Amino acid sequence: MPKTSTINEVAKIFCQSVKEVLESSTRSKIRYAPTIQKVPSISLKPDLGCFVQFTGDYTGLFIMNFSGQAALELYQQAMKFLGLPEEELAKDYTADDVVNFIGEMVNQIIGNARRKVEAKFGLLARNNQPKAITITSAITLSVATMIERPLCRRLAFRTQEGHSFYVEMNMEQTEFIPIEDPEEAVDIDTLFEEQQKLVDQDQEEGTQDEIDALLESIG
């Protein structure tokens, strides 16, 4: 079975984080396509997009694009779960409450994903504050500090009512290669201590042999 590339491994982690955070916040079902798409670039797209950069041991850009219906549905489900009366809820995806809600969800998702990457690979990254905006035409984004020709991926999602939203992400061209199996990792300090004990033991045995020989000669 071929080894999964690092960008695809990270894309799967982000996919899990999207599902976990949104389902927990909205108490509704989130579905995703079982396919990761390789794309040449990533963009903010209508109706509502949110982006956030992550940097550190690994670097990239994370975007979520929502149809107006998807953003509004997720917002309303989350607010109803929190106990807000339906008559007090925003009725349009362009409302500040909806835009701010999406920004907060993306903030939670990127944090969840970074923790998963750290737990699996031992690598750390930080992110700036996500920025959510309503837009009418696509805006291609890139990270100025990134190595040329970043790797780009897209993931497709559906809300419980079947409305579409997407994750688009890119990363520098990097590969996470485990140094060793943690379960089989060798503690170098312990290894040196054990070796020194063997040396000391050999020296003690040698000294005792010399003493015995001396006593025999005296006797």
Residues 6+ apart with CB under 8 A from 87: none
What confidence score (pLDDT) does residue 1 get?
41
Q: Which residues pair with 16 in a beta bridge?
A: none
CATH pick for 6-171 out of 3.40.1050.10, 3.40.1550.10, 1.10.10.10, 1.10.1740.10: 3.40.1550.10
Question: Is this structure's pTM higher than 0.75?
Answer: yes
- What's the pLDDT tens digit per position in 159-210? 999 999 999 999 998 999 988 665 554 555 565 566 666 656 655 555 555 5
Residues 6+ apart with CB under 8 A from 15: 32, 155, 167
- What's the pLDDT tens digit per position in 94-134? 999 999 999 999 999 999 999 999 999 999 999 999 999 99
- Helix 96-121 vs helix 68-81: crossing angle, to nearest 10: 80
Kindly list the domain boundaries of the chain, sorted by start residue.
6-171, 186-218
